[in-house]
Structure 1
Amino acid sequence: MKRLKITLGLLAYSTVLFAQKKNEIDLYYLGGQSNMDGYGYIKDLPDSLKNVQDGVYIFHGNTVADDEIGGGVGSWQVLKPGHGVGFGATTKKNNYSDRFGVELSFAKRIQELRPGRSIAIIKYSRGGTAIDSAAINHFGCWDPDYNGKTGINQYDQFLATVKNAMADGDIDDDRVQDVLIPRGILWMQGESDANPEAVALRYEENLKRLMDLVRATFWTDDLPVVIGKISDSHHERYDGLVWKYGDYVRQAQENYVKKDGRAAIVRQTETYQYSDPWHYQSDNYVQLGIAFAEALDGIE
């Protein structure tokens, strides 16, 4: 009986100890459209990014169109290549693709800039999506007020992703409570809002509203935001200009960052090369992730 009491006492002590321990983890959100999805090929990755990144966890919400169910489901997993276009997820399993986005080099560089910090990433993006409902297409819309057929839009899919990710209080399964502390938003989007002209002219207003809502979702009104500035491949298929009113969107991105005291912009995209009319080459996604990290770390 004495041995039983000791055992029960140790069990009770360990339960209390588990409840008291907390592990703080820096949380970053990655969102936007296809150049946030990532079209880099894993075979092109440098050796330093080909392996699992121990200590970095990612919840990549399953991507679906507006009006579809199943968006935002996923699970926390250690970061490794395969989170580019073609990625899919269920509540228990990630289905990795042969592509990657900015997440790999971003995580590596932000850890170098902020040593000793644990890293968690929530990713939800969808290629071709626009913020403005007037630019709606079959890819989807980020306008929270866009109803479509069922009332489910890309903002709703984002909210589902965050809700599912935050429901797990122990993302690394070490029996210690994890406290995710929002540290930044990375946003790579705008191409689909570059036509027609009226939509492009509204982009600054739409971007501000959406970023304010994303910040509110993470309970942090001054959460740092880094915008990836859109560029153009000048592909001959489109008479040299893929995004007809892209200049308006680029200026809107600059205006947003200038007016917001906690935002920065990545302009290196203006020099990137394209693998097709719409998407960067593999090495550019590595460069973009590093640029995002450095821009974020530079926000005072």
Structure 2
Amino acid sequence: MQKKVIIVLVLTHMLSIALAQNNEKETFRLFFLGGQSNMEGHGLNTELPDSLRGTIENVWIYQGCAVGDENQKGGLGKWDNLKPGNGAGFISDGVTNKLSRKFGPELSFGKKLQELYPGEKIALIKYARGGSSIDSLAAREYGSWEFDYQGSNGINQFDHFLTTIIGALCVKDIDGNGIEDVLVPSGIIWMQGESDAVLSKDIAFRYYANLKRLMDLIRAVFRNDDIPVVIGKISDSGMDNQGKTWEFGELIQYAQEEYVRKDKNAAIVRDTQFYQYSDPWHYDSKGYIDLGIKFAEAISILSKAK
């Protein structure tokens, strides 16, 4: 834990320096996208409309490679233009990104932000791991975001998140135009909770406290206790044999609503209840496109309200 606290302090120092030395530099609005598989994304690139098939101008993304706990390669990435392929199956070794045949909400999110902030540059940092929980007792083989979770070698999903952030912030010119960049943290987008709704009522009951603590920690990394947070409300496809995929899903939904009720700088996207599914766990391509748009609209409204 002590090592991780030191890393967080180093990150906050890096951001402090970047924000303090904003002379003759380019400014980017920076957004973090995190969570589990519906943030990772299972939309099919072949089903994208023409408006989302190419490179999204003035939007860059740094995506950390998603792996399980204990794996020391988690979080490696490289800045690139936003385009299709940052969904499930994306991998990076820190030198080369290998795009996948899938996309997540980041694609339409970046496109919508381009419309909401015309002429501005946007930077996205994404780390999402399918099946990951916040509660360590629900980690299974997928991983846990719990800050203090040790596992077998002390590496968890929060560590992979930190690796992603460090790798992204160490680059001083993310668009490669020869001008040093200043990344201004502007929002956290979180789509997760299904894995905490699977195993027990006790785990689901702890979700509010776990979610609040995790968002507080992520905000601390970005040196802003009031940075806007948008939560994607989990939904249920009803496609398993019992007609209910997440046994304790209602408890997670209640906790998500409670979080945004109590946090004046948080909002929730509820449109997920209307989405269609490609399998029992993941939205279809249209759902991911709409989700990204709704995330962008919500974070824009929160930012204007501050």
Report the TM-score, using the length of structure 2 for normalisation.
0.90
Q: Which SS does the other structure have where 2:278 is aligned?
A: coil
Asked if the contact 2:59/2:114 (under 8 Å) is kept, the reply is: no
Q: Partner of 2:114 in structure 1?
A: 111
Q: Which SS does the other structure have where 2:236 is aligned?
A: coil
In the alignment, is residue 33 of structure 1 matched against residue 36 of structure 2?
Answer: yes
Aligned AA (1:71): G
Count of residues in Structure 1 that have an aligned counterpart in Structure 2: 281
Q: Which SS does the other structure have where 2:162 is aligned?
A: helix
With over 3 angstroms needed to count, the CA separation of the structure-2 counterparts of 1:111 and 1:54, relative to structure 1, is closer
Q: Partner of 1:244 in structure 2?
A: 247
Q: Which SS does the other structure have where 2:134 is aligned?
A: coil
C-alpha separation in 2, matches of 1:136 and 1:166: 28
Task: Give the deviation of 1:21 after TM superposition.
Answer: 2.3
Q: Partner of 2:92 in structure 1?
A: 89
Q: Partner of 2:127 in structure 1?
A: 124
Give the RMSD, CA atoms, in angstroms.
Answer: 1.0
1:235 aligned to which of 239, 252, 266:
239
In the alignment, is residue 201 of structure 1 matched against residue 224 of structure 2?
Answer: no
Task: Give the deviation of 1:175 after TM superposition.
Answer: 1.2
The C-alpha deviation readout for 1:37-81, integer Å capped at 9, x for no partner, is 000000000100000112111000111110111111111111110
C-alpha separation in 2, matches of 1:272 and 1:296: 20
1:102 aligned to which of 105, 117, 138:
105
1:128-147 maps to which residues of 2 (within 5 A)? 128-147=131-150
Aligned AA (1:23): E
C-alpha separation in 2, matches of 1:118 and 1:150: 39
C-alpha separation in 1, matches of 2:24 and 2:301: 31
The C-alpha deviation readout for 1:18-52, integer Å capped at 9, x for no partner, is x9520000000000000000000000001000001
Aligned AA (1:212): D
Task: Give the deviation of 1:174 after TM superposition.
Answer: 1.1
Which consecutive unaligned segments of at least 5 residues does structure 2 have?
1-21
Aligned AA (1:185): I
Of stretches 225-234 and 111-120 in structure 1, the one that deviates more from structure 2 is: 111-120
C-alpha separation in 2, matches of 1:222 and 1:120: 19
Q: Partner of 2:258 in structure 1?
A: 255
Q: Partner of 1:149 in structure 2?
A: 152
The C-alpha deviation readout for 1:128-162, integer Å capped at 9, x for no partner, is 00000111210000001100000000001000100
Task: Give the deviation of 1:236 after TM superposition.
Answer: 3.5
Q: Runs in 1 of length 4+ with deviation above 2 angstroms?
A: none
With over 3 angstroms needed to count, the CA separation of the structure-2 counterparts of 1:20 and 1:211, relative to structure 1, is closer
Q: Partner of 2:272 in structure 1?
A: 269
2:283 aligned to which of 255, 280, 283:
280
Of stretches 170-179 and 109-118 in structure 1, the one that deviates more from structure 2 is: 109-118
C-alpha separation in 2, matches of 1:236 and 1:106: 30
2:63 aligned to which of 54, 60, 78:
60
Q: Which SS does the other structure have where 2:58 is aligned?
A: strand
The C-alpha deviation readout for 1:216-273, integer Å capped at 9, x for no partner, is 1111110000000000001143x00110000000000000000001000000001111
Q: Which SS does the other structure have where 2:187 is aligned?
A: strand
- % identical aligned pairs: 53
C-alpha separation in 1, matches of 2:197 and 2:65: 26
Which consecutive unaligned segments of at least 5 residues does structure 1 have?
1-18
Task: Give the deviation of 1:114 after TM superposition.
Answer: 1.8
Q: Which SS does the other structure have where 2:31 is aligned?
A: strand
The C-alpha deviation readout for 1:98-140, integer Å capped at 9, x for no partner, is 0000111001111211222110000000000000011121000
2:222 aligned to which of 208, 215, 218:
218
Q: Which SS does the other structure have where 1:121 is aligned?
A: strand
Higher-Rg member (1/2): 1
Aligned AA (1:211): M
Q: Partner of 2:73 in structure 1?
A: 70
